[in-house]
Amino acid sequence: MVIRPIAGGVQVLAPAKLNLFLEVLGKRPDGYHELETLMVAIDLHDTLSFEADDSGRIALKCDDPALPTGPENLVVKAAELLRREAGPEGVSRLGARIALSKAIPAQAGLGGGSSDAAATLAALDRLWELNTPADRLRELAGQIGSDVSFFLDTPAAVCRGRGERVEPLSLDPESSPIDFHAVLVCPPVGVRTPDVYAGLTPPERPEPIGPAIDAFLSGDPARLGRRLFNRLQPVAERIEPALGRVRSALIDLGPSLDGHLLSGSGSAYFGLARDREAALDAAQRLGDLEIGTIRVVRCGP
């Protein structure tokens, strides 16, 4: 995540993510599900700007009127949680004016809200000069949501536990030239994550994540395409039948894509392409079908 200075504060580009592999290992006593997932950041970003404000108020403005800007917004939650780290004196003194410009659709499985929260932790830690240790920032991230920690450690990681235990993959440009391109389809309908998990029966024999990690690190889209897997996909398609149309449209593109998958709990799908030209070509062919917003995205460092 890049934090750059702007007049009066800092600006952060908060990336979206794709799940290239997601298996559910079981249901936990706390109601969450034990996961094993391979996540990568993509070049679709929300933009956040932060100005310090010593009034002690956290004020969020967002260009998407559909999103709440009160305490239920993960950005506000992250800011409140972080300033409590500075004790009662910090709570009365530390404030911020935050502007959020959305490009990542909500309820799409792309981690937009989680990424915004991680950006907030990183940016306000800098702006408020708290120097919170990295481990503590990760703990706070885990309290906000299962995917938030990943975004502190992008661009690619294996995440376990309920998603908050992040093992970053070291991407050596010599041995792992990671440069994947995909066409992303965001249908006009969203899917609520809790509904998907509630409709899931964990498998008796989980799929292993190892082959997907190896395929990812090989940098070969054809190999990775064969290993794409998401346990949540059939459940999300049952909940929202419109998703089936998106999958059919991706299947109809045939071998011009190396594979396709629902990201997270949906509703966005991606089709993995051989290269950027193939992704652009797929985007053009999908553009006429009125199945959603179509973009070409890249994953990699």
Q: How far is the CB of 163 from ligand C5P (least distance, A)?
A: 5
| The binder of ligand C5P chosen from 107, 115, 193, 230 (CB under 6 A) | 193
Residue 61 a catalytic site member: no
Determine the 3-state secondary structure of 170 from DSSP: coil
Distances (CA, A) of 8 to 93, 197, 241: 17, 42, 47
Is residue 113 annotated as involved in ligand binding? yes
Distance CA 87, CA 74 (A): 21
Binding residues with ligand C5P: total (CB under 6 A)? 11
Q: How far is the CB of 41 from ligand C5P (least distance, A)?
A: 17
The owner of tokens 């998106």 is 246
33 binds ligand C5P (CB under 6 A): yes
Nearer to ligand C5P, 49 or 115 (CB): 115
Nearer to ligand C5P, 35 or 291 (CB): 35
Nearer to ligand C5P, 112 or 300 (CB): 112
Is residue 194 annotated as involved in ligand binding? no
Return the structure tokens found at 222: 């054809």
Is residue 107 annotated as involved in ligand binding? yes
Cβ count near 5 (within 10 Å): 10
From the centroid of its chain, how far is CA 246? 20
> What is Dmax (Cα atoms) for the chain?
61
Is residue 101 annotated as involved in ligand binding? no
From the centroid of its chain, how far is CA 287? 24
220 binds ligand C5P (CB under 6 A): no
| x/- track of binding to ligand C5P for residues 129-168 (CB under 6 A) | ----------------xxx--------------xx-----
Is residue 127 annotated as involved in ligand binding? no
Is residue 233 annotated as involved in ligand binding? no
Residue 17 a catalytic site member: yes
Spatial contact of 163 and 150, defined as CB atoms under 8 Å apart: yes
194 binds ligand C5P (CB under 6 A): yes
Q: How far is the CB of 290 from ligand C5P (least distance, A)?
A: 30
Q: 280 phi and psi, to 5 degrees?
A: -65, -40
111 binds ligand C5P (CB under 6 A): no
Alpha helices in the chain (DSSP H): 74-84, 87-93, 112-127, 134-144, 148-152, 193-198, 210-218, 221-227, 233-239, 242-252, 276-287
Cβ count near 152 (within 10 Å): 21
Nearer to ligand C5P, 155 or 163 (CB): 163
Nearest in space to 169 (alpha carbons), one of 41, 258, 14: 41
Q: How far is the CB of 73 from ligand C5P (least distance, A)?
A: 13
Find the catalytic residue in 53, 116, 147, 281.
147
Nearer to ligand C5P, 35 or 294 (CB): 35
197 binds ligand C5P (CB under 6 A): yes
Spatial contact of 42 and 250, defined as CB atoms under 8 Å apart: no
The angle, 0 to 180 degrees and rounded to 10, between the axes of the packed helices 74-84 and 112-127 is 30
Is residue 112 annotated as involved in ligand binding? yes
Given the rule CB under 6 A, which residues bind ligand C5P?
32-33, 35, 145-147, 162-163, 193-194, 197
Which residues are documented as binding site for ATP? 105-115
Q: Which residues are catalytic?
A: 17, 147
Annotated binding site: 105-115
